[in-house]
Every structure is written in structure tokens, then in C-alpha cells.
Copies of this chain bind each other. A is one copy, B any other.
């Protein structure tokens, strides 16, 4: 078994909620929106017996994630896709999540993506999504697009949308609240002590 600890620590809690939600005998399906990259956290869910599907906008990220899966004898099923326009039927997944991904869009698109995630989730299913918070050290950096949205330079210019603590609440008014976590993390990055800020949600449809 792959003993790697994944960077996306809050997904361990989501996994725990998922494990408690479904009897072991059923097939458990999970969708990751923004699933690409060299160490895809869908691998963790696969190891726990989930049927995984992931989408990512960028083909390189998709390839990199599937390559990791192959190395670990896992069929992660990560394909190209746009989380604001999911090519899946209504109510087709037990679990849906998006980790450190949804905030790379403007807030109008984020709203669409969340509507899509809710649509493809089965009634009673669980959803995890996290947001960058205005506590983050990069909030305010780069060309200002208004409403705490900035175009920032990573490897290429990329949108970062930051949220006030209660700003995302309206997205979830039609769902059952499970958990909300505000995380302010200070750590050393390239020799400097930086502060990151996130707001995580777990919700039930």
C-alpha cells in the first residue's frame, strides 16, 4: 500500500466524514474538481476503496496525475474538464470535492462551479470545498480586479479570489451544514515566515 502522506491535510477529515457516511459494502464514487498535479489526493481516496474521477483544466496536470496513479497501480480516472460546466449527470456522485483550486477563478465562475458540484452530487452526499481567505499574505498583491480578486503571477498570471469569513455562506444555503474551518497558517517559505489563510467547508446535499 502507498504510505504517502498527502499535502492536502484537510482532505483526511473529509475522508473520515465520507467513511462514516457510507456502509463499506457499497461502491463509493468521488469526484475531484481540480484533480491534476504530480501528487493527486484522489490517490488517498482510491486507497480507501473509492471509485475516483477527477477533472482538471490543464492537460499537463491531467497527465502528471495519471502518471502518479499508474506508478501506484491506481486507475484514478483523471480527465480534462471545466468545473463550471461538468459533463456528468445530475446526482451521479456520492462525494464531490475541490481542494485549493476553486479560488483560481473569479467569483462569478466560483458560484457556477459550486452550482455544478451540487448538481452532480447525490442527495445525502457530502461536498468539501475550500476558499482563500482575506487573512492570506498575498491578498492585495497584483492587479486589482475588485471584490478581493487579484491577477497574480505564479508560473503564469493566475486569478486569486479571497473571501471574508462569512462570504461563501450564501452558496450553501440549500445544503445541510456539516463543518466550517478557518485556518490561518504561518510557516517558513523560501526563508520567510509567511501567513496563509483558508476557509474550508463540508456540506451535505
Residues on A lying within 8 angstroms of B by beta carbon are 1, 3, 5, 7, 9-10, 12-13, 15-16, 19, 47-48, 177-188, 193
A48 close to B186 (CB less than 8 A): no
Q: Do A16 and B7 form a contact, CB below 8 Å, given A181-B183, A193-B177?
A: yes
A3 close to B177 (CB less than 8 A): no
Q: Which residues of chain B have C-beta atoms less than 8 A from A15's C-beta?
A: 5
In the complex, residue of chain B having the shortest beta-carbon distance to the beta carbon of A10: B9
- Between A and B, 30 residue pairs with Cβ closer than 8 Å are A1-B1, A3-B47, A3-B48, A5-B12, A5-B15, A5-B16, A5-B19, A7-B16, A9-B9, A9-B10, A9-B12, A9-B13, A9-B16, A177-B186, A177-B188, A177-B193, A178-B187, A178-B188, A179-B185, A179-B186, A179-B187, A180-B185, A180-B186, A180-B187, A181-B184, A181-B186, A182-B183, A182-B184, A182-B185, A183-B183
Q: Which residues of chain B have C-beta atoms less than 8 A from A184's C-beta?
A: 181-182
The minimal Cβ–Cβ distance linking A47 to chain B, given in whole angstroms, is 8
CA distance A111 to B178 in the complex (A): 35
CA distance A167 to B193 in the complex (A): 18
B188 close to A181 (CB less than 8 A): no
The minimal Cβ–Cβ distance linking A28 to chain B, given in whole angstroms, is 13
Q: Which residues of chain B have C-beta atoms less than 8 A from A10's C-beta?
A: 9
CA distance A33 to B127 in the complex (A): 34
The minimal Cβ–Cβ distance linking A54 to chain B, given in whole angstroms, is 20
The minimal Cβ–Cβ distance linking A186 to chain B, given in whole angstroms, is 4
The residue among A47, A182, A188, A193 with the most chain B CB atoms within 10 A of its own CB is A182
Q: Which residues of chain B have C-beta atoms less than 8 A from A7's C-beta?
A: 16
Q: Which residues of chain B have C-beta atoms less than 8 A from A178's C-beta?
A: 187-188
Q: Which residues of chain B have C-beta atoms less than 8 A from A5's C-beta?
A: 12, 15-16, 19
CA distance A22 to B72 in the complex (A): 23
